Chains A and B, each alone.
Chain A
Amino acid sequence: MRAIIHVDMDAFYASVEQRDNPSLRGKPLIVGGHAQRGVVLAASYEVRPFGVRSAMPMARAVKLAPQALVVPPRFSAYADASEQVFSIFERYTPLIEPLSLDEAFLDVTASLALFGAPAEIARRIRKEIAAELSLPASAGIASVKFVAKIASDLAKPNGQREVRAEETVAFLAKLPLSRLWGVGPKTEEELTRAGLKTIGDVAARDVAWLEKRLGSQGRHLWELSQGIDPREVVPDRAAKSVGAEDTFEEDLTGVDLLRPHVHAQALRVGRRLRKAGVRGRVVQLKLKFSDFNVITRRTTLSSPTDDGQALYRAALELLERAHEDKPLRLTGVSVQSLDEQEPQQLGLFSAPPPPRSAKLNAALDRITERFGSKAITTADLAKRGGDGDDEEDRWGRH
């Protein structure tokens, strides 16, 4: 039995606009494109009573709600918010299947022992989204994906709903046919004509009866009506590691002396990650003391990164906790749990823009490629003469 949470941000684009511009709060708001040709991208809850829905042509929306405020979309703001929302998901499970910028399935089956019941996890996620982003989100909790999605929809706005496995069939039974995945207006009409009104009516029919009427889709609908949906939550990543380490000319003691080395190593790892087109989540710091005793400390980032600065921040925290003021002969930074960036195909209908740091890093990489690793670096390393990539590297594959 799986525990699946479907988290869906409420009127996402509109909520971000209302958050960032207090004069829009509590007002009927439409985020949309050109008044004649565009479509509604998001409608705030205040404007929904007028019948305005997303994907509706703007011209029609403006006619339905002439008093509504209309703002153009700011995709980069939504992408930033989305990134933060997903990093909150990652605190609870690595099994995250994004459906769009503002919606994802989370499989928290393996997280229950750590964080408590699925509804409790959903509550925490929504609370953290509210506290850190000031945005409303709704959640559906169920043992299969499509039921979790229906549940989150019914919980909106700013609510959550759990459908326990044993309640699934009864929960579905009362819902109208259109709630079944795959039932469009025509199938609905066909079933309605045959006297079926609810998902329960579908469940009560014989599979063969449905197959006869709907073809192969009939069996699929019947299975869904029984709460059978074998689709799993599919994230995609594989494991490898990338690292950099240096043995010092003489043993060093104290964070102040070690910090620039760790920083340089983190930047090198970042550069190699980018070169390899991978990003990692688990940062490991290796320390070899003067007595050759080796310890490693690791931490998991909220989201995978190929940004050296982010790796440095994580590694520094580990260093501050672990160095024990004893003389060290070596430090090393490595990253594991790489999301295998096999060349990643971008989508036509949901292209997530790259994070801001990516542009900076790409520029730095071009400079380094042309003028060498000493040409540009961070201020703390500048006086050391760069973060030389000619030092010892370590590439690992497990």
Chain B
Amino acid sequence: MEFRIATDELKKALYRAQGIVERKTTMPILANVLVNATKSGVTVTAFDLDIGIVSEHPAEVSKPGAVTLSAKYVFDIVQNLPDAQVTLKKLANNYVDISSGSAHFKIVGMAAEEYPKLPKEESAPLVQISGNTLLEMIKKTQFAISSDETRYILNGVYFEPQAGGKVRMVATDGHRLSLIERELTGDFKLKGGVIIPRKGLMELKRLLDEAPDAECHLGFAENSALFKKPGLTMVMRLIDGQFPEYQRVIPKEGEKVVMVPKMSFLESLKRIALLSADKSYAVRIGLEENKLLITANNPDLGEARDVLEVAYRGGDITIGFNARYLTDVLSVMETDEVSFELGDEHSPGVIHAPGDRSFTAVVMPMRV
């Protein structure tokens, strides 16, 4: 194997691999990327047995071949090369010579044959989608994904095609839930929803962020998802199981509805949560006539209190919330005002844009 490639191209390929390769693994080869040079160019593959990406790059290949290399070390090296071009050449025993300008590296690799094979997903019916829309959907649900590994069903986002060319994405950690419905026209040929795992979703987000306007395709087959954009293919294993009946926990309309200026609410929550007890982010939200009060107290530090002016005329109420659950939601909203709906101290609060429930967040209170 021998090829010459633009340093930036190789850097891009290795950057894409960083989030996927496993460092703490029983299979050392999973910390490597598979570099494969063919007549048409070079592909760099990263795979952790659950998620795999294959990144294609133009290169002058003088001798086709393949090898695997440490994703982390080679990335560090490539970031520090002196020249805009770099040459990789496989030597005996899977050593690889990396040379750029006056610099030479001789790196230990492992045999390409030992690299695990990615699942082949040619059968997945691919649907062309808007990268920007998918990106928005990920950003507005990812924060609610559970990080509790014992609730593996909740360690991902539920992707559920709806009638009329829409797709709903839902994430919940059992304490809060985020739902977004957007237009993603096309037939995914799914019977119900599928659960996309967090790690795969984060990688997908990273890939979309690179170039949201690029032509993107998404498809599902068996128990995996396939994502393609020019020069890149990603496959990932989905979470197998039944996502909870999320519709059941979304209140239709809260008893008390108040319009709150988003930025002031967000800033105030961050401020007051500084005084919450034991980093619990617990704050109390009170509604009184034309006032929204945010208070917190920490037995070791003291108390904090803030007031927002709102148009409100229901009865007085005080409900505890995890401030972070609220700021997570507010941070991803675009409108100047948000509609905040409350029940009682044991019922979920709901946040959505005024008059628009296509993005809805549900947050359970805290007993404080």
**Contact B175 A348, beta carbon cutoff 8 Å:** yes
Contact of A212 among B49, B176, B282, B322 (CB under 8 A): B49
Q: For the complex, is B133 an interface residue (Cβ under 8 Å from A)? A: no
- Cα distance A354–B174 in the bound complex, in angstroms: 19
Q: Mark B227-258, 1 if CB is under 8 A from A, else 0.
A: 00000000001101110110011000000000
Residues of A within 8 A of B248 (CB): 39
Segment touching B, from A125-133, A312-320, A339-347: A339-347
Q: Mark B180-198, 1 if CB is under 8 A from A, else 0.
A: 0000000000000000000
B298-340 contacts to A, CB under 8 A, are 320, 322
**Contact A212 B116, beta carbon cutoff 8 Å:** yes
- In this complex, which of A55, A185, A344 has the most chain B Cβ atoms within 10 angstroms of its Cβ? A344
- Tally chain B residues at the interface, Cβ within 8 Å: 39
**Contact A346 B346, beta carbon cutoff 8 Å:** yes
Contact of A184 among B175, B242, B249 (CB under 8 A): B242
Given contacts A186-B223, A342-B277, A354-B346, contact A348 B176 (CB under 8 A): yes
Segment touching A, from B91-99, B101-109, B202-210, B359-367: B359-367
A182-226 contacts to B, CB under 8 A, are 182-187, 190, 208, 211-212, 214-219
A353 nearest CB neighbor, chain B only: B346
Residues of B within 8 A of A349 (CB): 174, 244, 249
Q: For the complex, is B222 an interface residue (Cβ under 8 Å from A)? A: yes
Q: Mark A339-374, 1 if CB is under 8 A from B, else 0.
A: 001111111110101100000000000000000000
**Contact A277 B368, beta carbon cutoff 8 Å:** yes
* Shortest distance between the CB of A355 and any CB in chain B (Å): 12
Contact of B367 among A182, A183, A277 (CB under 8 A): A277
* Shortest distance between the CB of A9 and any CB in chain B (Å): 20
**Contact A216 B174, beta carbon cutoff 8 Å:** no
Residues of A within 8 A of B80 (CB): none
Residues of A within 8 A of B278 (CB): 342
* Shortest distance between the CB of B141 and any CB in chain A (Å): 15
**Contact A343 B49, beta carbon cutoff 8 Å:** no
Q: For the complex, is B73 an interface residue (Cβ under 8 Å from A)? A: no
- Cα distance A274–B193 in the bound complex, in angstroms: 44
Residues of A within 8 A of B175 (CB): 345-348
**Contact A182 B280, beta carbon cutoff 8 Å:** no
A39 nearest CB neighbor, chain B only: B245
15 contacts between A and B (CB under 8 A): A39-B245, A212-B49, A217-B237, A219-B26, A231-B150, A341-B367, A343-B320, A343-B366, A344-B367, A345-B322, A345-B366, A346-B364, A347-B174, A348-B172, A349-B249
Known: A184-B241, A218-B49, A348-B362. 14 other contacts (CB 8 A): A182-B240, A187-B223, A208-B27, A231-B150, A343-B276, A343-B282, A344-B366, A346-B364, A346-B366, A346-B367, A348-B175, A348-B348, A351-B346, A353-B346
Q: Which A residues are closer than 8 A to B by beta carbons?
A: 39, 55, 182-187, 190, 208, 211-212, 214-219, 231, 277, 341-349, 351, 353-354
